Amino acid sequence: MSEDDSLARRAYRHRTDLYREEGDEDAPTVVFAHGTLMDRTMFDSQVEAVADAGYHAVAYSLRARTEYYEPAYDLDDIVGDTVALLDNIGVETCTLVGMSMGGFMGLRFALQHQDRLDALVLVDSMAGLHEEAKTQSYDAMITQIEGSDDVPEPLAETSAQILFGETTRETSTELVNGWIDRWLSYPPMSVVNEVRSWLHRDDITDRMDEIEVPTLALHGDEDTSIPTERARETVEPMSDGRVEVVPEAGHSSNAENPEFTNEKLLEFLDEVY
């Protein structure tokens, strides 16, 4: 969709305010790509842990969390944005960490630009498709806000049921409510175009054997949006892939159980580097 000279692509290639950068710039780089409705702050705990461990950490805002949420775009456009970001920060290769939508993009990045990857980490993501009922449900959710002036509170409340596990909703209400308040501030079309960027994507499960870089799938054991078995289906064909189930966490497992996530992520990075 978007050409290489689009405003969005130029922004990722040249602007420095679309990402957070911590740690030693000469160390191996770990890039974090957030999921739908989230933003780069969902990785704050991982950015700090990775930087403290001696790595170079970069978390960036995808189009939906910038002024470039229009016109419509797709996952390949986000792949191109990520390439532009790497060029911008002067990084040739990295470990790419993608949560949900960020993982949908990360898998496609691996298929298109494997020479720029040291490793891949999927957080609550998959190569396959959602069940048709879920696809129709998500489509109905965004259709109702297309052309609206704001994101309605019931939609935000429903999204919290999807994005957070039962344990988090019961024990971390401050975390959940903080995100709900943030979602209510979003321009509705930023959410519409964000969801549509991946809603009718292709199933690429049959290409997973082409990904040869080490791959770790971190997946919440309470994730009802993407069940854990879908992560296993994704990494099983890979030559060097594995799944770590994150306890007491749902679809935003890295934010819900950051201690476990950080431990497993750092173990993986130490193996890669």
Domains of the chain listed by start with CATH number: 7-129+202-272 (3.40.50.1820)
- CA 23, CA 65: separation in Å to the nearest integer? 24
Number of residues assigned to the chain? 273
Percent share of the chain, pLDDT over 90 = 98
Q: For the chain, which residues score pLDDT lower than 70? A: 1-4
Provide the token pair at 53.
């461990």
The vertex-41 CA angle with 39 and 45, nearest 5°, equals: 140
Residue labelled with tokens 């890295």 = 254
Determine the pLDDT at residue 5. 77
User: What are the backbone dihedrals phi and psi of residue 2, each rounded to the nearest 5 degrees, phi first?
Assistant: -75, 135
- CA 182, CA 169: separation in Å to the nearest integer? 16
Q: Is-above-0.95 flag for pTM?
A: yes
- CA 62, CA 224: separation in Å to the nearest integer? 24
Element (H, E) at 258: helix 258-272
Determine the pLDDT at residue 4. 67
3-state secondary structure of 129: coil
Determine the pLDDT at residue 2. 42
- CA 199, CA 195: separation in Å to the nearest integer? 6
Provide the token pair at 19.
């990402």
3-state secondary structure of 42: helix
Determine the pLDDT at residue 270. 98
